[in-house]
């Protein structure tokens, strides 16, 4: 019997052998992981879309220009928006990933952000990454991903183009030292 590890509130750092354009060099935050599978959001793949574009599409009026990059959260349900945020926004339905990190699909949070009343730290994604039961564990066993315990600073206070390098440094490695070759000891 294989022991399941809980990767909720962990980052996945793509290894060089992952060459699919979406997952190449990606950092994915795992929001949910159980015996049925896993769900996460890619944090470092900005799309050519800003929050104002989304607000306009949803007919939400913004009091000011919202310069907030939208991330490609993953290949599943790319039309669905997800907001990963830090804080306690009780007026929107949310899931607590690891207090105070929360996840919501509610449009209300976007309305709050447009009014300047949203969370101070938020990452907005379109789509998510999903794995069936045992799939993520198999990918990790095949050296497709490194796992790193997540922390708020790394998620919310690190530029998307720096998150992979900073995540790797938490393990004491440099991205440039990772090889596309894999093996098992």
**What does the pLDDT look like over 39-66, one tens digit per residue?**
999 999 999 988 888 988 888 888 776 6
Residue 100, preceding peptide bond in cis (omega within 30° of 0): yes
Q: Which domains does the chain have, with CATH numbers?
A: 10-177 (3.40.1740.10)
The predicted-structure confidence for 108-133, as pLDDT tens digits, reads as follows 999 988 888 888 899 999 999 999 99
Q: Is the pLDDT of residue 180 over 60?
A: no
**Containing H/E element for 110?**
helix 107-114
Encode pLDDT of 61-83 as tens digits. Answer: 887 766 688 999 999 999 999 99
pLDDT over 70 for what percent of the chain?
A: 90
Helix (H, G, I), strand (E, B) or coil at 166: helix
> What b/e readout covers 114-142, taking b as 16+ CB neighbours within 10 angstroms?
beeebbeebbbbbbbbbbeeeebbebbee
pLDDT at 50: 86
pTM: 0.90
């Amino acid at each position: 019997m294989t022991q399941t590890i809980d990767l909720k509130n962990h980052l996945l750092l793509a290894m060089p052998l992952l060459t699919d354009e979406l997952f190449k060099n990606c950092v994915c935050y795992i929001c949910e992981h159980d015996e049925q599978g896993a769900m996460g959001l890619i944090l470092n793949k900005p799309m050519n879309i800003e929050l104002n574009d989304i607000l306009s599409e949803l007919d939400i009026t913004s009091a000011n220009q919202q310069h907030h990059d939208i991330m490609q959260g993953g290949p599943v349900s790319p039309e669905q928006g997800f907001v990963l945020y830090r804080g306690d926004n009780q007026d929107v339905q949310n899931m607590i990933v690891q207090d105070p990190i929360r996840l919501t699909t509610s449009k209300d949070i976007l309305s709050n952000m447009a009014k300047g009343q949203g969370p101070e730290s938020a990452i907005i994604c379109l789509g998510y990454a999903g794995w069936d039961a045992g799939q993520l564990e198999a990918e990790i066993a095949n050296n497709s991903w490194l796992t790193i315990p997540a922390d708020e600073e790394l998620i919310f206070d690190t530029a998307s183009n720096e998150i992979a390098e900073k995540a790797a440094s938490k393990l004491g490695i440099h991205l440039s030292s990772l090889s596309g070759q894999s093996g098992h000891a």
